[in-house]
Amino acid sequence: MAKHIILPDPHANPYHNNDRFEWFGKLVVSERPDVVICIGDFADMPSLCSYDFGTKGYEGRRYKKDIESVIDAQERFFTPIKAAKKKLPRFVMLEGNHEHRIDRAISRDAAHLDGIISQDDLQYEDFGWEYVRYCGSTPGIIIIDGVAYSHFFTSGIMNRPIGGLHPAASLISKQFMSCTMGHTHTFDHSVRTRADGTMLHGMVCGVGSDEFMDFAGEANNLWWRGIHVKHDVHDGQYDLESISMDRLKEEYA
């Protein structure tokens, strides 16, 4: 049986410190997982945000700063892991919609930057991540020990992210297997048991950032912040341990 560490949307951002990535790395050393899965949006990429482009709040954003922040976050994350000189786990990175901003900018907003900027700038594979890219306009999916992971799963002919009041239960009912996704920054976990005793887990895993994000306003209060450890993962089943950002800070800061 395997152990998975799930790193929810971390949102490395040049306007917020990256201390939490050191805590994440120290937790990996302590837990010695078989797999570390970042659910996507490791990078925030505010310079490529199209929602507030042209507003006063957009002034001063730079692509170069965004990339520097992502590289700094990875260096902080991997430093304690490599210093421990233990067997390295498998590192899996899901492309999130914030990483996808780079491709979207080239294809829609700034075609003249094609060949000048790309997701290679993020250096994910250079740091050792197995990078699962988008498939068309929706996030890619990878199945590990019977659990399907994606930045978000879609529903309906319009490919909208699964959400609503009970998103974890919706994951099970729409995907028919154990699934874990991020994207919404909320936390929800639902379990259904088949007739043969097999348990299916639907999980929406929160956010891996301690930053108050201005764009979300009071919705910040609805978000769960932290990291998850799945113990004894096999055939889509596992025992879940959730570790809040406050607890991480207390133990590893």
- Give the pLDDT mean for 5-17: 97
Q: Span 169-185, mean pLDDT?
A: 97
Structure token digits, residue 29: 């050393």
Q: Indicate if the pLDDT at residue 110 is higher than 80.
A: no
Residue type for 92, please? Answer: V
Name the band, by pLDDT with cuts 50, 70 and 90, for residue 203: very high
pLDDT at residue number 87: 93
Which pLDDT band holds residue 111 (cuts at 50, 70, 90)? confident
With a cut of 60, say whether residue 53 has pLDDT above it.
no
Mean pLDDT computed over 214-220? 87
Residue 178 near residue 200, CB atoms below 8 Å: yes
What's the pLDDT tens digit per position in 20-35? 999 999 999 999 999 9
Strands (E), the chain: 2-7, 35-38, 90-94, 130-132, 142-144, 147-149, 154-155, 160-161, 179-181, 187-193, 199-205, 226-234, 237-244
125 φ, ψ to 5°?
-70, -30
Question: Coil, strand, or helix at residue 230?
Answer: strand
Q: Domain limits of the chain?
A: 2-141+217-252
Q: What's the predicted TM-score (pTM) here?
A: 0.95
Consecutive H or E run containing 245: helix 245-252
Residue 51: predicted pLDDT: 64
The arithmetic mean of pLDDT across residues 198-218, rounded, is 93
As a whole number of Å, the end-to-end CA separation of the chain is 30
Q: What angle do CA 183, 114, 41 make, to 5 degrees?
A: 15
Neighbours of 216 (CB within 10 A): 13
Neighbours of 112 (CB within 10 A): 8
